[in-house]
Amino acid sequence: MQYSRGKKYSRDLKYDVKKLKEKKLKAKTFNKSLTINSVVFILLSFYIFYLFVFSDKNIFNFAQKEKRLEQLTEKEKKLIIQRDKLKSEIDNLKKDDFIVEKLAREQLGLTKKDEVIFIIPEDETEKEKKEEKKDRWIDRLIGRINH
């Protein structure tokens, strides 16, 4: 019986050694795949970091472009409003002769056939009064600063 026990023990030992070698081989391949996966993950992480920070399409440029887009959108809205006002003014000018006549008189100095335009120059006294008011204002400002 000892003899049969020894064979059984040696078979179990050979089986255990074989299983141990298989486990070591699996562990090596797992470690290799783990290191390869780790290297790939690290390289991929660096590439993504490079794209977000250093490339032409990085986060900072994206934020600047978003801000510029908002500014241009606001400018577009203002221009659309201005365009609509100008269109309505053009329509009014096409429809109403009185407005055209008024603008011609005020801006271009045009007159009708028998009209005479009188241009009244400003008096020297009025100019002096305006200058005195300016001086007084400046004097008051300087007086406040000195006190």
Q: Where are the domains of the chain?
A: 10-55, 57-109
pLDDT of res. 24: 73
Give the whole-angstrom CA distance, residue 137 versus residue 72: 42
| Contacts of the segment 45-48: beta carbons below 8 A, 24+ positions apart | none
- b or e along 9-18 (b: 16 or more beta carbons within 10 Å of the residue's beta carbon)? eeeeeeeeee
Angle in degrees, CA 71, 75, 78, rounded to 5: 145
Res 146: pLDDT? 60
Amino acid 83: pLDDT: 96
The whole-number pLDDT of residue 109 equals 77
C-alpha distances (whole Å) from 79 to each of 74, 82, 83, 85, 93 are 9, 5, 6, 10, 21
Q: In this structure, what token pair is assigned to residue 22?
A: 């298989």
User: For each of the chain's 147 residues, which pLDDT tens digit applies?
Assistant: 444 554 555 567 677 777 777 777 776 676 667 687 888 888 999 888 887 777 777 777 888 889 999 999 999 999 999 999 999 988 888 888 888 888 787 788 788 888 877 777 766 666 666 666 655 655 666 666 665
Longest Cα pair distance anywhere in the chain, in angstroms?
A: 148
Which residue type is seen at 96? D
Check if the beta carbon of residue 117 is closer than 8 Å to that of residue 109. yes
Is the overall model pTM greater than 0.75, yes or no?
no
Helix residue spans in 2-147 (DSSP H): 2-53, 59-95, 97-103, 124-146
